[in-house]
Amino acid sequence: MKLYLSAAIALLFSIKLMAATIAPSPEQVTPLLNGLTIPDVSLTTADNNPVQLVDLVKQKPSVLVFYRGGWCPYCNAQLSALRDIEPQLNKLGYQLIAITPDSTASINKSLKDTGGQKLNYTLLSDTSFAASSAFGLAYYLDDKTAAAYKGKLGNLITTETGTEKVVLPVPAVYIVNTKGEALFNYVHINYKTRLEGELLLKAAELALQ
């Protein structure tokens, strides 16, 4: 009986820890720091296949970009800007991976339509918020704004299973080596502010030294 009780307590504690990874607001996120190893999380490809993030970054140095969704004009502008500098990142030896709470249907649309041109880099779906939570980027949108988003965007907004609360990632960029170590990060709680392509290229170049 004691064994079952201990297991139940451990399970409840682990659930509590998982829930705590989603911050109450963007001001309270706790992003993964430079020097730490990225978490081993499962994401979904545009082809609806599961993939482990650590397996992807083992292949080559990576630029990881967290964005809110294809419904966000600031995100679409960022995705387009990343498309423009992707050849230079590739030349440096990097792969570009963008991660979003969007469904696979939505990321497929983004791959085809962003900025009127096709995206050639990888988009991954994080509908369970596993990656954004593990990286310390996920937060709950306030109720008033969430209601407005739901009313305007409907099922384009991904919500938390069980609570139906809107969860978003703070926009972020990480540069990661093949060991999975974070060498550089840029995180900004204002979703309108994104890292300029020129600065990202410079950071990517310096990270190789």
- Predicted confidence at residue 208, as pLDDT, reads 93
The one-character DSSP state at 70 is T
Judge whether 165 and 159 are in contact, CB under 8 Å.
Answer: yes
pLDDT at 19 over 70: no
Domains of the chain (ranges, CATH numbers): 2-207 (3.40.30.10)
Note the pLDDT of residue 27. Answer: 97
Quick check: 116 pLDDT over 90? no
169 strand-pairing partners: 138
Confidence of residue 4 (pLDDT cuts 50, 70, 90): very low
CB atoms within 10 A of CB 107: 24
User: Taking 80 as the threshold, does the pLDDT of residue 58 lie above it?
Assistant: yes
- Dihedral of the alpha carbons of 22, 18, 41, 193, in degrees to the nearest 10: 10
Please report which confidence band the pLDDT of residue 99 belongs to, taking 50, 70 and 90 as the band edges.
very high
CB atoms under 10 Å from CB of 113, counted, come to: 13
Mind listing the pLDDT tens digit for each residue in 63-98? Answer: 999 999 999 999 999 999 999 999 999 999 999 999
Determine the 3-state secondary structure of 123 from DSSP: strand
Q: Which H or E element spans position 151?
A: helix 143-153
pTM greater than 0.85 (yes/no): yes
Q: What is the pLDDT of residues 168-194, one digit of tens each?
A: 999 999 999 999 999 999 999 999 999
Query: By the 8 A CB rule, do 176 and 91 touch?
Result: no
120 CB burial (10 A radius; 0-12, 13-18, 19+): exposed
